[in-house]
Amino acid sequence: MKKRLDLRWAVTLALGTLGCAAGQATAAGFALYEQNASGLGNSYAGASAAAEDASTVFWNPAGMAKLRPGKHMALVGHSINPTTKFSNGASAAGLNRTDFGGDGGNAGNAALIPNGYFAMDLNPRWNFGVGINVPFGLATEYDPNWVGRFQGIKSEIQTLNINPSLSWKANDQLSLGFGVSYQQGEIDLLTGVNYKGIVFGTALNPLVAANAEGQNKISLEGSGWGYNLGLIYDLTPSTRLGFAYRSRVKQDLSGTVSFSGVPAAYGLSPALTAATANGGVKLTVKTPDSAAFSLVHKLSGNWDLLGEITWTGWSVVNSLPLVRDSGTTLDTLRFNFRDTMRYAGGARYKMNDSWTLKMGLALDETPVPNSNDRSVRLPDSDRTWFTFGVKYKLSNAASIDAGFAHIRGKDAPIANNQNVGNVRGNVNGNYTTTVNILSVQYSRAF
Other beta carbons within 10 Å of 166:
18
Q: Does the pLDDT of residue 24 top 80, yes or no?
A: no
Domain ranges of the chain: 2-445
Encode pLDDT of 405-437 as tens digits.
999 999 999 999 998 888 999 999 999 999 999
Q: What is the DSSP letter of 299?
A: P
Question: What torsion, rounded to 10 degrees, do the Cα atoms 201, 206, 207, 211 define?
Answer: 80
Residue from 405, 406, 411 nearest 379 by CA: 411
Q: Which residues pair with 71 in a beta bridge?
A: 120
Encode pLDDT of 74-114 as tens digits.
999 999 999 999 999 999 999 999 898 999 999 998 999 99
Confidence of residue 291 (pLDDT cuts 50, 70, 90): very high
At 263 the three-state DSSP class reads coil
Helices (H) and strands (E) in the chain, counts: 5, 20
How far CA 288 is from CA of 333, 346, 385, in Å, comes to: 16, 25, 21
What percent of the chain stands above pLDDT 90? 90
Encode pLDDT of 298-338 as tens digits.
998 899 999 999 999 999 999 999 999 999 999 999 999 99
Q: Which long-range CB contacts under 8 A does 268-275 form with residues at least 24 apart?
A: 268/204, 268/207, 269/204, 272/198, 272/199, 272/204, 274/328
- Confidence (pLDDT) at 16: 40
Superfamily of domain 2-445: Outer membrane protein transport protein (OMPP1/FadL/TodX) (2.40.160.60)
Confidence of residue 25 (pLDDT cuts 50, 70, 90): low
Q: Taking the model in full, what pTM does it have?
A: 0.92
